[in-house]
Amino acid sequence: MREFIHMLLIVLVLLPGCHNKPEDQGEDPPKGFDQQEKLHSHQQEYRESPVFYRYPSAREMLAYVRSKELSYKPGLVNPLNNRQTYHRSLSKNLNLGVYMTDLAYMILFQRTNKARDYFNRVVSLSQELRIVIPHKQKLVERVGQNLHEPDSLLRIFQDYQSEIIAYLMKTDQEDKLAVFSAGSYLEGLYLALQLVGDYADNQQTANKIAEQKYAFSHLEQFCRSHARDSNVARALTYLQEVNALFSRLPVEQDQSHSERTSAHQMVLKGGDRVIMNASHFYAMKQEVEKIRHQVVANTMNGAHDIQD
């Protein structure tokens, strides 16, 4: 599993340069996105690209959503004040992931002023969890210096996230990584579902979200391997609930075939395709919202957590 994660990390880092040019490239880059040259490259990967099985990145999901010119919706992110209700390590860990995703969301949608507050919150939570980032102070300073440079902020965000993951890996705290990832992805899923809003208008995006089923499944497997840890076990229950939602989605099978593009690139197409219809969409949206609320409002199992 470790090697798998290492591979996925490499994928994450290389992702900006690794994309399939969609056959249909009718969509222009988002208007008003003048400073987003690099972002554009992140976003292109999601245009009509096939699903591939890998460790999910909430940021990537959001980047795709962003590429669809969906509007920023205020009030979706986890309020900073909720931080005061996180006393146990489970809630802190889960919501570290949540806040990281929120941070990515704000950077992507260029809400940079709020991004600083969220960055500070992420830093303080990670400190409480005893996650040591070697150049934390420099990162914090860089945030202050690049408040109006979304691409730089995104880079910093990536660096910070990488540092967190690297630290947890290095110090054999994969259980924390699992919980963190669960929180991060759950928030990403929630934000994406909320941003889509109306199924009819954004069916394509909704289907893209559905394709995260397999990624979620992998995440669940990862968590299961660390389920001895009580926090991971708890996070696993959320993932299982989400996976249960995904499992209701029908899967279409396309025949696998290859195609040569105009740029003489071989593109593999085909495989399974997960379909999300409107009722599935709204049901998932509602359920994910409930699950997410439990996490951010720290009302897991009502007012009391289950006995570990």
Partner 1 sequence: MSNTTLKLIVKLFALFASLDAPNRRYGAGKILKLYLKLYVQDSYIHEFIDIYNFYIQQQTEAADPYKQISSKSVKTLRLLDQINSELIYQEKVYLLFYLGKLLREKDRITEQEDDFLRTVARSFSMPESESQDLIAFILYGVSRTLRQTHLLAVKDPYSNCSVKGIQYIDREGLNGIIYFLLLPSAHLYLFYYQGGESLFLNARKIDPGAVYFFSKGDSISGYRMGWENVKLQPIYYPQVAECFLRNSQHNQLSLVVDGASYLYRGEQEGIRPFNFSTQSFYMVGVIGSSGVGKSTLLNLLNGNIRPQHGHIWINGYDLHRHREDFKGLIGYVPQEDLLFEELTVYQNLYYNARLCFGDLSPARVHAMVNRTLDELALSSIRHKKVGGELDRQISGGQRKRLNLGLELMREPALLLVDEPTSGLSSSDSRQVMNLLRTQTLKGRLVIVNIHQPASPVFRLLDQLLVLDEGGRVTYTGDPLEGLVYFKTLNEQVNAQVKQCPTCGHINPEAILEIMEEKKVDQRGRYGAHRRISPEQWHQYYRDKIEPIFSQKPLVQPIPESRLHQPHRMCQFKLFFKRNILSKLGNKQYLLVSLLEAPLLALIVAYFTKYTAGTPENDVAYIFSQNPNLPAFLLMSVMVALFIGLLISSEEIIRDARVLQREKFLQLSRSGYLLSKIAFLLLLSAIQTFTYVLIANHIMGIEGMMFRYWSILFSTAVFANILGLNLSSGLGSQIVIYIVIPFILIPFMLFSGGVVHFDKLHAGLTPRRYPPIIADLMVSRWAYEALAVSQFRDNAYEDPLFSLHRRESRHAYRLNHYLPRLINHLDYCRNHLDRPEGSSMPERIATLRNEIHKLTREYEPMGKLPVEELDQDSLKIASIRRIRKFIERIRKQEARQMEQVVYQRDSLIQQSATAEQWTRLKQNHYNHALAELVKRKNNRVKVLETNHQLYRKYEPIFMYPHHPFGRSIFYAPTKRMGPYGVDTWWFNLSVIWLFNLALYISLYYDWLKGAVAFFSKLQKMKLKS
* Pick 57 or 91: Cβ nearer partner 1: 91
Which of the stretches 29-37, 130-138, 151-159, 271-279 binds partner 1 when contact is defined by CB under 8 A? 130-138
Please tell me whether residue 304 binds partner 1 under the rule CB under 8 A.
yes
Out of 113, 145, 171, 221, the only residue in the binding site for partner 1 (CB under 8 A) is 171
Q: What is the C-alpha to C-alpha distance for residues 302 and 282, in angstroms, rounded to an integer?
A: 24
What are residue 266's DSSP bridge partners? 260
Please tell me whether residue 228 binds partner 1 under the rule CB under 8 A.
no
DSSP 109-174: TT-HHHHHHHHHHHHHHHHHTT---TTHHHHHHHHHHTTT-HHHHHHHHHHHHHHHHHHHHHTT-H
161, 182 in Cβ contact below 8 A?
no
Q: What is the C-alpha to C-alpha distance for residues 167 and 19, in angstroms, rounded to an integer?
A: 28
Which of the stretches 26-34, 126-134, 241-249, 278-286 binds partner 1 when contact is defined by CB under 8 A? 126-134
Q: Total residues at the site for partner 1 (CB under 8 A)?
A: 24
Shortest separation between residue 107's beta carbon and partner 1, angstroms: 23
Q: What is the C-alpha to C-alpha distance for residues 294 and 303, in angstroms, rounded to an integer?
A: 10
* Pick 134 or 250: Cβ nearer partner 1: 134
Binding flags for partner 1, 64-103, as an x/- string (CB under 8 A): ---------------x-x--xx-xxxxx------------
Shortest separation between residue 102's beta carbon and partner 1, angstroms: 16
The residues near 262 (Cβ < 8 Å, ≥ 6 apart) are none
127, 99 in Cβ contact below 8 A?
no
The residues near 257 (Cβ < 8 Å, ≥ 6 apart) are 268, 269, 270
Please tell me whether residue 230 binds partner 1 under the rule CB under 8 A.
yes
Shortest separation between residue 210's beta carbon and partner 1, angstroms: 34
Q: What H or E segment, with its residue span, contains residue 288?
A: helix 278-296
Q: Can you read off the two tokens belonging to residue 152? A: 């730089």
Out of 37, 201, 272, 308, the only residue in the binding site for partner 1 (CB under 8 A) is 308
* Pick 122 or 215: Cβ nearer partner 1: 122
Applying CB under 8 A, the residues found at the interface with partner 1 are 79, 81, 84-85, 87-91, 127, 130, 132, 137, 171-173, 230, 298-299, 303-305, 307-308
